[in-house]
Amino acid sequence: MMAGAGGGNDFQWCFSQVKGAVDEDVAEADIISTVEFNYSGELLATGDKGGRVVIFQREQESKNRLLSRGEYNVYSTFQSHEPEFDYLKSLEIEEKINKIRWLPQQNAAHFLLSANDKTIKLWKISERDKRADGYNLKDEDGRLRDPFRITTLRVPVLMPMDLMVEASPRRIFANAHTYHINSISVNSDYETYLSADDLRINLWHLEITDRSFNIVDIKPANMEELTEVITAAECHPHQCNVFVYSSSKGTIRLCDMRAAALCDRHSKFFEEPEDPSSRSFFSEIISSISDVKFSHSGRYMMTRDYLSVKVWDLNMENRPVETYQVHEYLRSKLCSLYENDCIFDKFECCWNGSDSAIMTGSYNNFFRMFDRNTRRDITLEASRENSKPRAILKPRKVCTGGKRKKDEISVDSLDFNKKILHTAWHPKENVIAVAATNNLYIFQDKMN
């Protein structure tokens, strides 16, 4: 999985594509806020702050171009959410898409869930490449024909047409969240899904929009006593009764929906004891978990906090089995990062298809990949400078002190405005999508 890592062939990551504007001035609405491959990897969806969803489809691999995989091209673009105004609370509800989750494909159409702070929508994306021609009651341009003028009957014929991809909202799940939705997760039963906000988790049926079940509620009776919020939640990939949710205090709770209707009491509680030697004022903030993801196998889960990624065995609650430092050099800068709010950035993480590698983002448009088997890690950069087709990405290194070697970058030169919060890994192949502000980079392995 890593450059130069194990296996037979030497593995390297190459630039494949970049999507998005090149302008220096980035429009706020164009900032990508979520990235997600579908189950087959054929489709790649992005959501942005402007409430739009853009879906890319991989073109069929051409036999002529053996050295590269199919490219991703725009398949469908639609406005998923609009800004709303809550008149009761005098609040504006942002249209920013917080999460997109695909449903497994069951027929020709594709379905995805998209969520902003308050509302989840189920979208159907379907193709139309035929149209009916030869209606009896209307002309080709749609005008109604005078019935008395019809002298013969004909059967309409399906004629091919240019491919049209339509996105239509099939369900709108609204009014179930007082606080901001941070996660949605489709259950393995393909009938239900959960949505989580800061204090509550709701379980929905995909067919039913007018009600949901509240399964977790951590809102205290007295809000003055609130010291912990829910930061992420996910359904187990195979066990439809199991889900996990993470908190701002660095804990993860695994709940079993068979145990009780309200899963306030967890079945398992995952927390790593704090290292007293590294305690600081920022210990709690940096322990806040920004993302939690089950492995594809369902045996492990991964959590991302500010400085590290941890892999947990679901059978061991008292500590993670693996810990990977993402950017430990920032530990001495926490006060500044607190001041400029970077410490509150929510980085996501993802597994590769075989669960042998994990990926997460960092600053300066760097992203990191860790091979769980070889324990090797690599830092790569998403930048237009390395954007020649099939250009091999050069590993990057941050210099933490002392003499800076050539090609290294010092901690103080990092651009904290260029943050990679959202990344996705193709479910089957070594193709990754990395969102860098308003640009989407696609990288793939170099096929030898």
Partner 1 sequence: MVARGQKRKLHREDGGGGSARESQLQSVLDISMDKFLRDQALVEPCLLRSVLINNTLRQVQSEVRAQVESLSPVKIPTKLKPEPDFTQLSPPAEHNASLSSPNAENTEDDFMVWTSEEDFSLSSAISAILKDLDAVIDAGQGPCASQRAPLRSVENLTPCPLRTERTSAVASFAKTELMCPVRPQDAALDKLLLDIDTSVFEPELNLLQGFSVTADDLVKYLPSLSKSPSASSSSSLVSNGQAMWEIQEIEHVMDILMRTYPQS
Q: Does 180 bind partner 1 (CB under 8 A)?
A: yes
Q: What residues numbered 227-266 form the site for partner 1, per CB under 8 A?
A: 227-229, 231, 248
73 or 227: whose CB is closer to partner 1?
Answer: 227
Nearest-approach distance from CB 232 to partner 1, in angstroms: 11
SS3 content of the chain, % helix, strand, coil (to 5): 10, 45, 50
Residue from the set 281, 388, 405, 448 that interacts with partner 1 by CB under 8 A: 281
Answer whether 323's CB lies under 8 Å from 305's CB.
no
Interacting span for partner 1 (CB under 8 A) from 10-18, 175-183, 236-244, 369-377: 175-183
Burial of 382 (0-12, 13-18, 19+ CB in 10 A): buried
Binding residues for partner 1, how many (CB under 8 A)? 27
Judged by CB under 8 A, which of 77, 79, 175, 178 binds partner 1?
A: 178
Among 7, 344, 384, 447, binds partner 1 (CB under 8 A): 344
**Least distance CB 277 / partner 1 (angstroms):** 14
As measured in angstroms, the least distance from the Cβ of 231 to partner 1 is 7
Neighbours of 37 (CB within 10 A): 25
State the minimum distance, in angstroms, from the CB of residue 432 to partner 1. Answer: 28
CA–CA gap between residue 56 and residue 398 (Å, rounded): 33
Applying CB under 8 A, which of residues 323, 338, 387, 429 lies at the interface with partner 1?
338
CB of 227 to partner 1, least distance (A): 6
d(CA 57, CA 42): 6
Site for partner 1 in 74-113 (CB under 8 A): 88-91
**Distance in Å, CB of 218 to partner 1, minimum:** 11
By CB under 8 A, the residues from 205 to 224 that bind partner 1 are 223-224
Residue choice 179, 213, 329, 416 for contact with partner 1 (CB under 8 A): 179
Instruction: Rule CB under 8 A: say whether 328 interacts with partner 1.
Output: no
Contact flag: residue 174 with partner 1 (CB under 8 A): no
Should residue 199 be labelled a site residue for partner 1 when binding is judged by CB under 8 A? yes
Q: Which two tokens stand for residue 307?
A: 């400085």
Pairing mode, strands 397-399 and 408-410: parallel
Output 141 or 225, the one with its CB closest to partner 1: 225
Give the helix/strand (H/E) hosting 335.
helix 334-339
CB of 348 to partner 1, least distance (A): 15
CB nearer to partner 1: pick between 18 and 115: 115
Q: For partner 1, give the closer residue by CB, 127 or 271.
A: 271
Alpha carbons 278 and 50: distance in angstroms, whole number: 40
C-alpha span between 335 and 286 (Å, rounded): 11
Answer whether 363's CB lies under 8 Å from 414's CB: yes
Query: 48 near 66, Cβ under 8 Å?
Result: no
Cα–Cα distance for residue pair 53/81, rounded to 1 Å: 9
Q: Which residues pair with 14 in a beta bridge?
A: 392, 444
Q: Which is nearer to partner 1, 269 or 344 (CB)?
A: 344
Give 216 or 431: the residue with its C-beta nearer to partner 1.
Answer: 216
Nearest residue (CB) to partner 1, 422 versus 426: 422
Neighbouring-strand partners of residue 252: 246, 270
Of the pair 250, 361, the CB lying nearest partner 1 is at 250
Toward partner 1, which CB reaches closer, 279 or 375? 279
CA distance 247 to 270: 11
Shortest Cβ distance from residue 253 to partner 1 (Å)?
A: 17
For partner 1, the closer of residues 39 and 338 by Cβ is: 338
* CB nearer partner 1, residue 98 or residue 379: 98
The residue among 233, 360, 256 whose CA lies nearest residue 308 is: 360
- Nearest one of 73, 61, 88 to 440, comparing CA atoms: 73
DSSP state of 397: E
To the nearest whole angstrom, how small is the minimum distance from the Cβ of residue 28 to partner 1? 17
CA dihedral (1, 250, 223, 266) positive or negative: positive
355 binds partner 1 (CB under 8 A): no
**Helices first, then strands: H and E counts in the chain:** 2, 32
* Closer by beta carbon to partner 1, 199 or else 398: 199
CB of 34 to partner 1, least distance (A): 17
Closest CA to 100 of 9, 32, 42, 147: 32
CA distance 37 to 102: 8
- The residue from 39, 78, 282, 416 that contacts partner 1 (CB under 8 A) is 282
Contact 182, 156 (CB under 8 A): no
Q: Under the rule (CB under 8 A), what is the footprint of partner 1? A: 88-91, 178-180, 198-199, 223-229, 231, 248, 281-282, 284-285, 288, 335, 338-339, 344
